[in-house]
Amino acid sequence: MHKKFRTKKCMWEQIANDINSKLQLNKTALQVENRFKTLLRKKDYEVKYRTASLDDDYKEKIKKILLERSSKRKFSSNDALCNTQSIERDNSLQETLEKIHIEKEKAKERRHREKLKLLRKHEAAKERRHHEKLEMMRELIHTKVISTD
């Protein structure tokens, strides 16, 4: 299995650096991690209580949150450039969050497949041992029958 980061701390630091460089923001790794976890908790809550069903609903919720956030900012008509940059930042942030979510889902599926593989292997070994025991009991019964004759 290939890992890009040695630790999660390194991963969050890299994401924070990417966000800061691409969006001209000043966010720490902890802030980025906490924001991501907050969004995941909101998604999990919504999925659990059926207010959001799938990833498409989740993406729409992210868009809605980002639009609400950008609409709360006060811009004058002279700040059209700032507004455009803000929208671009929000879009980049959304893309980054979506990429993180996709990678997390892929990792979850990969772990699930690995668990299934281990369970199948364990079950096959259990079945093999069972057949070995049955065969030994048959041989034992067969030898007892022959020795009593």
Predicted pLDDT at 91: 72
Predicted pLDDT at 126: 94
Q: How far apart are CA 17 and CA 38, in angstroms?
A: 20
Distances (CA, A) of 37 to 41, 42, 45, 75, 128: 6, 9, 12, 29, 44
Q: How many helices (H) and strands (E) does the chain have?
A: 4, 0
DSSP letters spanning 77-139: GGGHHHHHHHHHHHHHHHHHHHHHHHHHHHHHHHHHHHHHHHHHHHHHHHHHHHHHHHHHHHH
Place of tokens 């980061």: 5
Q: What is the pLDDT along the chain (149 residues), one digit of tens a residue?
A: 456 778 888 889 988 998 888 888 898 999 989 988 888 888 777 777 765 455 666 667 777 776 666 555 544 444 555 556 666 676 777 778 888 888 888 888 899 999 999 999 999 999 999 999 999 999 888 888 777 76
Predicted pLDDT at 77: 46
- Predicted TM-score of the model (pTM): 0.38
Predicted pLDDT at 51: 55
Predicted pLDDT at 1: 42
